[in-house]
């Protein structure tokens, strides 16, 4: 479903680009022969030009302003819906024409925004070639920058996207990646709030690490590493690793099986119950009562 929505969005943007390019060409022709300005436009564009030239009456000016305000509100609502649907918030969008002719247009495009808490910047070169009645667009020189100090799990995917210039795959995977990171952050925050004397988040709730400290056994620590891995093809998968640090004297207090098999037990629980239920079970299994 998301693929179809993204494709429709891209088609809409391409239609808008075609519309604005047609207007630019029309304005360029008018510049060469400004005496025929009124001849080239009709309808709303004509009214706008009359307004700029001071040739409209007060009533027509008010009508034009009202109509333009309505269009702006419609564009804002459309942008809000697109943002809600795709989870992408654009902060800036700039274009620079590198080459332009009747048959070829080359533009340098730079856009920046946010997907959840993750900020990104994308730079690319868009080439459009027209031959006969067809138009072909290609993306090249794609460069992606993510504003985060911990992106080892997605760096290989970003390199692949830059090589293939697959912009649609980037945005689709970016949304899934940030959703999984948000799920982890919510889970970490939940357990810290529920077990504040046991759970620690050394890097904050949006980090990959959560530690469990036994309140009665200093030095007895469980470290949960919860990463979100992204393959070259864009598959997003959570990965869990449980490490234990148990002093020798603490091991004697626990019945068989020893805590050395805690990691294997946790992985089995995670596959059966899911991540949050497995963490909850792990906390209770080692005798840590919830903080009331």
Residue whose entry in the numeric block shows the structure tokens 């620590």: 221
Are 93 and 176 contacting, i.e. CB atoms less than 8 angstroms apart? no
pLDDT (tens digit per residue) in 46-104: 555 555 555 555 566 667 667 767 766 666 666 565 555 567 888 888 888 888 787 88
Query: Any residues with CB less than 8 A from the CB of 154 and at least 6 apart, and which?
Result: 146, 177, 228, 230
Would the pLDDT of 158 be above 80? Answer: yes
**Among 144, 75, 76, 157, which residue's Cα sits nearest to residue 113?**
144
pLDDT band of 6, cuts 50, 70, 90: low
Average pLDDT, the chain: 76
**Among 125, 116, 229, which residue's Cα sits nearest to residue 171?**
116
pLDDT (tens digit per residue) in 238-255: 999 888 876 666 556 555
208 alpha-carbon distance from chain centroid? 19
> Quick one: average pLDDT of 99-112?
86
Q: By CB neighbour count within 10 A (0-12 exposed, 13-18 middle, 19+ buried), where does 242 fall?
A: buried
pTM attached to this predicted model: 0.66
Question: Which range is least confidently modeled, 90-94, 131-135, 152-156, 196-200?
Answer: 131-135
Computed from CA positions of residues 71, 74, 80, 84, in that sequence, does the dihedral angle turn out positive or negative?
A: negative
pLDDT band of 3, cuts 50, 70, 90: low
Count of residues for the chain?
A: 292
Q: Which pLDDT score is estimated for 164? A: 93
Residue whose entry in the numeric block shows the structure tokens 């025929």: 36
pLDDT band of 41, cuts 50, 70, 90: very low
Within a 13 Å sphere around the CA of 223, how many CA atoms are in the beta-carbon half?
Answer: 12
Q: Which pLDDT score is estimated for 231? A: 93
């Amino acid at each position: 479903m998301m693929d179809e929505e993204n494709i429709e969005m891209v088609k809409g943007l391409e239609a808008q680009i075609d519309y604005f390019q047609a207007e630019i060409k029309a304005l360029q022709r008018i510049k060469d022969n400004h005496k025929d300005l009124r001849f080239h436009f009709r309808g709303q564009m004509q009214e706008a030009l009359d307004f700029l030239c001071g040739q409209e009456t007060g009533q027509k000016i008010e009508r034009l302003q009202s109509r333009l305000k309505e269009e702006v509100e419609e564009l804002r609502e459309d942008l809000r819906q697109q943002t809600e649907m795709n989870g992408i918030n654009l902060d800036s969008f700039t274009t620079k024409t590198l080459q332009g002719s009747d048959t070829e247009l080359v533009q340098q495009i730079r856009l920046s925004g946010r997907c959840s808490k993750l900020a990104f910047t994308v730079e690319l070169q868009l080439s459009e070639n027209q031959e006969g009645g067809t138009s072909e667009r290609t993306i090249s020189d794609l460069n992606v920058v993510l504003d985060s100090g911990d992106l080892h799990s997605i760096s290989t995917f970003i390199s692949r996207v830059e090589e293939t210039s697959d912009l649609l795959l980037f945005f689709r995977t970016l949304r899934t990646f940030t959703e999984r990171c948000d799920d982890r952050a919510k889970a970490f925050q939940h357990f810290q709030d529920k077990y504040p004397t046991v759970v620690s988040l050394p890097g904050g709730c949006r980090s990959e690490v959560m530690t469990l400290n036994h309140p009665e056994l200093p030095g007895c620590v469980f470290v949960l590493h919860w990463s979100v891995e992204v393959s070259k093809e864009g598959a997003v998968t959570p990965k869990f690793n449980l490490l234990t640090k148990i002093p020798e004297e603490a091991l004697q207090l626990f019945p068989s099986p020893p805590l050395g098999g805690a990691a294997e037990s946790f992985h089995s629980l995670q596959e059966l119950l899911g991540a949050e239920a497995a963490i909850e079970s792990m906390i209770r299994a080692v005798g840590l009562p919830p903080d009331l």
